[in-house]
Amino acid sequence: MLGLCKRKEDIVLDKKKSFHISGFGVFLVILFGLGAVFIKKASGIPLFDELLIAMTLGIIAQIFVTCDQRTERILRWTPRVLIPFGLILYGAANLDFKLFAAVPDTYKITLFIAILTFLVTALTLAGLFGLKDRTGYLIASGSSVCGASAIAATASAIDAEPDDISCSLVAVFISALLGLIILFPLLRRACSMSDTEYGIFCGTVFQFTGFVKSAVSGLPAEAQKVALAVKSLRYLCLIFTIPLFTSLTKGKMSMPWYLVLFLAGGVLCSFVSTLSGLRHISESALSFIWSIAMASIGFNANMRVLFSSYGLKAFLVSFLSMLVTIGIFLVSRMVF
């Protein structure tokens, strides 16, 4: 009988051990969040996305750290709290309605067509390739809106698994990287795009803001401004894509509460002059908060899935969606 029971002292020790292990897991993801932001800032390289870096650090940590069930629960819970709060900051930092109003209508039409193409193509291909619905939703959101940020924001709303998030984010990132290194420079020469046209092209199609900045870094200041203005307009699409994918997941109309605050933050920082200075503070806080969330996700992701046929299919869906969107953009360029 005594052999089947634990002494009171043993139970206390087990609780202390569990607390310390859980505390170490929390400490690690905070450390990875700080590290990712530091790498991004210190490198000065726009391609270095802190969210991807943080998730990668979390995935690598699995090789060296084994977490107990309590730690895993904490790490799964962390993104569900931090991502919605971060999205509110995201609105304050990135939604600039005065800038949106300055974008010419022809650019907006082209952008709308490109976003719709990304969404329809990614969702269709995800179904054809047999990807899980949530993986398809994340690829579609990350491709059409704003890369890692859109994937993080959408993942929280649809209760995506860490494997869905890691597969979609890596797939979208590699697609964008191939576009930056190979496709976009070739198309610019082949289509004889002007500086402004190329800026619009980059802002319309590139998934990550950092990639837009890298692609247009050698262009005149005005062309760079146009590219980033077009890209920033895509952030607003989260108001549409998140309710869409949340509703598809739940089988009924659904609107996450924090989207209202996301929009309110952007409106206030756009039109209340005394609050405009909060943009930089919000952006810094956002980077840290979401990096912690992505490190937590990486901790729970299955590394094998990334390098499996499923990961390859996710990449193909992302890359082919980009190719189709590029084709539609080139056609709409001739029309508009």
Q: Which residue has the higher pLDDT, 65 or 40?
A: 40
Which pLDDT belongs to residue 22? 52
Of the chain, the percentage scoring pLDDT greater than 70 comes to 93
Q: pLDDT tens for residues 133-164?
A: 999 999 999 999 999 999 999 999 999 999 99
Which pLDDT belongs to residue 278? 86
- pTM reported for the whole predicted model: 0.90
3-state secondary structure the chain: CHHHCCCHHHHHHHHHHHHHHHHHHHHHHHHHHHHHHHHHHHHCCCCCCHHHHHHHHHHHHHHHCCCCHHHHHHHHHHHHHHHHHHHHHHHHHHCCHHHHHHCCHHHHHHHHHHHHHHHHHHHHHHHHCCCCHHHHHHHHHHHHHHHHHHHHHHHHHHCCCHHHHHHHHHHHHHHHHHHHHHHHHHHHHHCCCCHHHHHHHHHHHCCCHHHHHHHCCCCCHHHHHHHHHHHHHHHCCHHHHHHHHHHHHHCCCCCCCHHHHHHHHHHHHHHCHHHCCHHHHHHHHHHHHHHHHHHHHHHHCCHHHHCCHHHHHHHHHHHHHHHHHHHHHHHHHHHC
- Does residue 17 carry a pLDDT above 90? no
Which pLDDT belongs to residue 84? 95
Q: pLDDT tens for residues 157-210?
A: 999 999 999 999 999 999 999 999 999 999 999 999 999 999 999 999 999 999
* Domain residue ranges of the chain, discontinuous segments joined by +: 18-335
